[in-house]
Amino acid sequence: MRSSNDGNSNLDSRFSQTLKNVQGMLKGRSIPGKVLLTRRSPAEEASLQEHSPTFHRSFSENDAGTSNRTDTSKEQDDVWTAKKPNSSSIANKLKPSPPSIEVSSGEVQKSSVGARATDSARVMKFTKELSGATVMLDKLRELAWSGVPPYMRPEVWRLLLGYAPSNSDRREVVLRRKRLEYFECVAQFYDIPDSERSDDEVNMLRQISVDCPRTVPDVTFFQQPQVQKSLERILYTWAIRHPASGYVQGINDLATPFLIVFLSEHLEGDIDSWSISDLPLEKIFDVEADCYWCLSKLLDGMQDHYTFAQPGIQRLVFRLKELVRRIDESISVHMEEQGLEFLQFAFRWFNCLLIREIPFNLVTRLWDTYLAEGDALPDFLIYIFASFLLTWSDKLQKLDFQELVMFLQHLPTNNWTDQELEMVLSRAYMWHSMFNNSPSHLAS
């Protein structure tokens, strides 16, 4: 049997070699297999921002609050009911329309002005994949893992989640049909008086209406009553159609990246200047439908994360603890000595997929990698969260129990940029390559 010192020496050697590979990747070289992250040049970043909403978030500690359905909400319900598409507009949705215009070479050139040739070539690869008669999803996932150009993100996300078909000839018809189906569900389940709901449904709707104002409280856009009403419709309709789990707090956070990305097709500029009321009701309806179906696709791959007692999350938290112990035994021992359980901080990470832990402007970039992982996402989350936690390994080992709890609840990520997030993802990929095919290393 190997001594622990030999094992640690081997692990350190493998870690050092893999780290050199990652560092090589960050300088422009690539690692065979999955495409990793490259740092964007300032010029490319600026040009991409032309096609992307700008986020400003001040990190308040407002994680809670209470509210009830008010008369204002009732008035908004009446407006929605009065203005929602009638039967003739629904019929029009099913009529074929010209296919959406693909990204022009001019747009691509504009997005890449001043960027390195390799970055420009990568944008062209996205354009090539999206313009084909049939999108090769494996290739698209490989490209998307390293980040998606913001103006391509809505289309790419719909494809990665399997909401939009890879066949371009069928895409418009399928989206029209799915959007209509969502509208019919809203009419059947949401646009009814409380007297027609069961007690459980009334309580669930009340909880959702309380949670919507708490959702991303530091981004002013989400404080707009109409935005909260859209979230409420999406979440309640999803919960009614998924009775095995129903609504679980945290799912409200998971809807927000989809809402921002699909609204970005219709609203421009700084997100703080966005007003959802500037859009026609039919556009709002389409955005809601896309959010609903993409949220459904995402949660289909992690159903036991949101059923009773959330066993899927508990299982992943245990695996995270084991992985951290193998990577950095000193921090693992310190946390055990202080009596800190991983469930005390990591449960929220898995429940909300880090949305509450990092600046909101980085969330969509992080989710490019999430969605590119596809069905493998739950397993890969373990490596992302281990990398995230061990960012502060040295700091954490100097803290006692109370300080650990406070630190992990208010992580110093306010000023994080793409660079910090990329390092987290790079380490996660590295450790996944080292451990995932050697499960015995993680056996307790």
Instruction: Write the DSSP assignment of 350-391 as a string of letters.
Output: HHHTTTTTS-GGGHHHHHHHHHHHGGGHHHHHHHHHHHHHHT
Q: Is 62 exposed, middle or buried (0-12, 13-18, 19+ CB in 10 A)?
A: exposed
The rounded percent of the chain whose pLDDT value lies above 70 is 72
Mean pLDDT of all residues in 209-233: 95
Cα separation, 84 vs 199, in Å, equals: 27
Q: Which residue has the higher pLDDT, 8 or 34?
A: 8
Confidence class for position 442, pLDDT limits 50, 70, 90: low
How many Å apart are CA 290 and CA 381, to the nearest integer? 24
- DSSP for 136-191 reads -HHHHHHHHTT---GGGHHHHHHHHTTSS-SBHHHHHHHHHHHHHHHHHHIIIIIS
How sure is the predictor about 55, in pLDDT bands with cuts at 50, 70 and 90? low
Judged by DSSP in three states, 207 sits in helix
Confidence of residue 121 (pLDDT cuts 50, 70, 90): confident
Q: What is the pLDDT of residues 56-82, one digit of tens each?
A: 544 333 344 334 444 444 444 444 444
Poorest-pLDDT segment among 135-139, 268-272, 295-299: 268-272
What structural domains does the chain harbor? 29-300 (no CATH), 309-442 (1.10.472.80)
Q: How confident is the model at residue 30 (pLDDT cuts 50, 70, 90)?
A: very low
- Indicate the SS3 state at residue 54: strand
pLDDT at 28 over 50: no
Q: Rg (Cα) of the chain, in Å, rounded?
A: 23
- Going by pLDDT thresholds of 50, 70 and 90, the confidence category of residue 119 is confident
According to DSSP, residue 218 is labeled: T
Average pLDDT, the chain: 81
Residue 168, pLDDT > 80, answer yes
Q: What is the pTM of this model?
A: 0.77
Q: Is the pLDDT of residue 192 over 90?
A: yes
pLDDT of res. 17: 55
Distance CA 340, CA 27 (A): 38
The helix/strand/coil state of 306 is coil
